[in-house]
Amino acid sequence: GPKVLQIPSHQIIDMGQMVTLNCDPVSNHLYFYWYKQILGQQMEFLVNFYNGKVMEKSKLFKDQFSVERPDGSYFTLKIQPTALEDSAVYFCASSRPGNTLYFGEGSRLIVV
């Protein structure tokens, strides 16, 4: 099926530093999403993005978080500064309008 690629697959970072998680969505998809998963449990919605704008964000999408997709390149999630509680696996997904979300393999972030 359609593939969403995420880079990096793993990252360890010092608390307070900045991290950027990159997502290469499916080529003809227009909607992009980030989800957060802790300990293999619930998929927690963070944000969705369409036409260069955030459509909806959850309470988990703190002020330290930002997303962008400059010039149709990677869809990125930036956390600045990072906190210990940001340690999780972050999943990117993309979809066409009203259609199935396809997920990447996740970026495992460890904040120490």
Shortest approach of another protein to residue 26 CB, angstroms?
12
Among the listed ranges 17-25, 64-72, 75-83, 100-108, the one in contact with another protein (CB under 8 A) is: 100-108
Interface with another protein (CB under 8 A), residue from 45, 62, 69, 87 = 45
* 91 near another protein, judged by CB under 8 A: yes
Cis peptide before 81 (omega within 30 of 0): yes
Shortest approach of another protein to residue 106 CB, angstroms?
5
Close Cβ partners of 6 (under 8 Å, ≥ 6 residues apart) = 21, 22, 23, 24, 90, 91, 92, 104, 105, 106, 107
Interface with another protein (CB under 8 A), residue from 17, 54, 56, 85 = 56
- Kindly list the strands in the beta sheet with 65-68, ordered across the sheet, starting from the edge strand earlier in the chain: 5-7, 19-24, 75-79, 65-68
Closest C-alpha to 69, from 19, 33, 45:
33
Name the site residues for another protein (rule: CB under 8 A).
1, 4, 30-31, 33, 40-43, 45, 48, 50, 55-56, 91, 93, 96-98, 100-106
